[in-house]
Structure 1
């Protein structure tokens, strides 16, 4: 494993000419999808042959797709035509291209990436599959599943300032420019900052770049929003690859970010990050992550998955291009698994964390599982969750005076089993059909109370009526109902009528 000696030099002039070439050839998200057609899905599955065939008649766009997305060698004449007005000599000097015997290969990963509003280009390093070997220590990852997950988990409400900690190729900052007036991005890696700078130049975006570890480059500064995709891989305290390893033991990298991030927020500012946490024998994971939090911080920990230690190690070895069956792979696996065993690690949790600085307030801290499949981005849900938490903080002592309604997206499901006298309901469950698809099991009293939540009567009146019908004391029913109401409000399954 080695670190590259020279950093790529993608100057303003080089990026301007490369941008002209991309625009002229249609090398953007729409152009690639149109050229590949049904083969686009096959490319995402790691099946390149269909994509090769689809690009045969795509002209200069096809050349760029084969170079950057398929890792192929292309003839000099074709590459020269596709890159015009950027010369081959300048492209080689900027490490965009590498001359080989039969023509040219890509020296960097430059690919379109878009959202609902348009398309960008992201500059990163070539992955292990295209390199045909393990990646160097200073490898700058492309837009992977983790990056896309954080993009979808980030609130896009307008803010004045946003900090992207550990920017890597710059993709989080790209999306941030849509909703933040000023974007600052940091990274400990000089190579990452060089490629992120190229990403921003190529897309004609003004992003402040600062080098340093964690929050040190922005000491004594505060922001309205912070996003962070940290090196969250857990295990022994080592750094094999800067994009994933922090040098800290276990889940200390995630703990560090959660502990320090709120201190760099303006009051009411928010943060979103990916994180990992250990599932240790005899310890609840929610208790573990809650200990990371500073005072006066609202926090929502959403666990998306729990990985078996053995599967976890194999996955990350393959991610770096290391065969777990090789001598190197077995040695790394042994050291990694030994560390897990020595520290009683039974699993590795992974998920999203939403934080809000709430000076002077009693914080709300919720740790919950969200391991079901869902399609809607979590960012909007996280922002709405914070709104509902703030509403409960303001109105929590007067919930009985509130007129509630059950949204149309919430359904009541009943599960019944056959019995001696016919079907008998065994489970009743409220299910939210949008967003993360939350569900809550409810008893018969709760279903009757919620049936009355149509925005006409305050909660107290509904409780009095239900108590009278059931022969119960209103005070006792209210005491039992209010915790359920609060939980349903937090999950957007019961809302104040407007």
Structure 2
């Protein structure tokens, strides 16, 4: 019995029992739910100590407690319990005690209740992931889900699907979803994840883009094994066998050739920082000179020691152990030999733009925000596409709109010169939605932005009126206003009327 064959029956039982992410949270209460997220099983077990069906499901499938085989049969039905044993999702010892050895856990994926089949992790039990470990839903996969659009397309490729998390996020948005992985076990678990969701997904085995050679897709999504380190494979879900950031370079550089006209790629990636080259130039060099618009977003940077310690903990290695000491020394020496001063992490979004010169932006995005990034990425490509098609004269003659919700911040600080009161320190325009971009501006630009209206005067006319009212030289003011408005459009603080109407 395969996992995929039993998955629909199991997830139907889960749904009927309320064994969903929201159902568990409501059942446990806020304190125990937070303990669940922190990986503190005792508090969860205490809150789920009653004999209700949902509590028993939590103990068996979330905490992976050992129970008598008769209890599993009573909980699931004898037939389904036997199927789980036959599929090796459950082990049985000589005393007839059973324990779940997989992670079959509910999640909300793009607003839908889903169940992901993956290998057991160390969140609820003491466990050291093996070399062929198939990861479930982690922080990286959740961040990629949030940064990937869900607008309708014909075809989607989930490159290196693992347990199928990214493909789950695209169900219902695409006519056809294709998922690849080099690891047979990952495909087995992904097949169960898709079967449990009632989805038809094309599954292909092979490395990188080899299974889809010659094919193009409207949307590519990839959470590759991007860990930056030595050219070796310790764990297939995170180590590529390529040196340093070679895995990210491979996926970023080859994704464009698999994009359909106007198609987009949404990738997690990591890259090294060195003294010899900026990280932005390094990642931009992986992309072709023509044919793509790309937005490279650095969300975080770690120093080498912090980075190594983080990934050692990821594989449940005690940082104080001799094994950790040896691994740390080898890893840090490798970084030193290659001049690595830091490791950046973030997103790379790519759009096919035909035979035009490539338009590549690489920038840090360290600010906190909670809105999904996927819609912002789609709008970003629309905004820069509009900018790309216009001359400076056409930009000046266009009409614009200050984004709804745009805030003007007048910031003052204690006046140390006067010793009393406050003195102006900064004038800032800030988005209150999306990635919360903020730009420092002067009073002239702030006033010009305030005067923009999609059915009103053009930028040139607005600048002209402001210059006349304030006895300023119009052409000089316009020459500075146009590039400033372009920057505001790139970050969506100002929107061209043609984009929104």
TM over 0.5: yes
- More moved, 423-432 vs 156-165: 423-432
For residues 56 and 309 of structure 2, the distance between their equivalents in structure 1, rounded to whole angstroms, comes to 35
State the secondary structure of the residue aligned to 2:137. coil
In the alignment, does 2:487 pair up with 1:492? no
Which one is further off, 293-302 or 387-396? 387-396
Kindly indicate whether the alpha-carbon contact (under 8 Å) linking 1:305 and 1:351 is maintained by their aligned counterparts in 2: yes
C-alpha distance after superposition, 1:17-39 (max 9, x if no partner): 32343234332223322221221
CA distance in 2, matches of 1:424, 1:151: 44
Consecutive unaligned residues in structure 2, runs of 5 or more: none
Q: Match for residue 229 of structure 1?
A: 223
Q: What does the per-residue CA deviation read over 1:66-113, in whole Å, with 9 as the maximum and x for residues that have no partner?
A: 122112212322211122153433211201111134721112100111
How far apart, CA to CA, are the structure 1 residues paired with 2:391 and 2:344? 32
Query: Which residue is 2:203 aligned to?
Result: 209
Aligned to 2:316: 321
Contact 1:35 1:58 in 2 (8 A): no
Is the aligned partner of 1:364 residue 2:359? yes
The 2-side partners of 1:145 and 1:11 are apart by: 25
Range moving further from structure 2, 19-28 or 264-273: 19-28
Please say if 1:380 is aligned against 2:379: no
CA distance in 2, matches of 1:148, 1:96: 25
Select which of 23, 26, 33 maps to 2:15: 23
Superposed CA RMSD in Å reads 1.8
Distance in 2 of aligned mates of 1:30 and 1:202: 18
- Aligned residue for 1:414? 410
Q: Alpha-carbon deviation of 1:201?
A: 1.4
Offset of residue 434 of structure 1:
0.7
Counterparts of 1:173 and 1:78 in 2: how far apart (Å)?
Answer: 34
- What do the CA deviations read for 1:293-344 (whole angstroms, capped 9, x no partner)? 1122101011110011111111101111111221211111111010111111
CA contact (8 A) 1:129 1:321 kept: no
Contact 2:412 2:423 in 1 (8 A): yes
Q: Select which of 320, 325, 330 maps to 1:330.
A: 325
| Match 1:187 to one of 175, 181, 189 | 181
Out of 102, 111, 124, the residue aligned to residue 105 of structure 2 is: 111
Alpha-carbon contact 1:165-1:226 (below 8 Å) kept: yes
Secondary structure at the aligned position of 1:361 is classed as strand
* Residues 70-85 of structure 1: pairs in structure 2 closer than 5 A: 70-84=63-77
* Contact 2:159 2:208 (8 Å CA) reproduced: yes
**Inter-partner Cα distance in structure 2 for 1:268 and 1:383:** 11
CA distance in 1, matches of 2:18, 2:74: 14
TM-score, normalisation: structure 2: 0.94
TM-score normalised by length of structure 1: 0.94
How many pairs are equivalent? 490
Distance 1:402 1:129 in 2: 55
> How far off its partner does 1:218 sit?
0.2
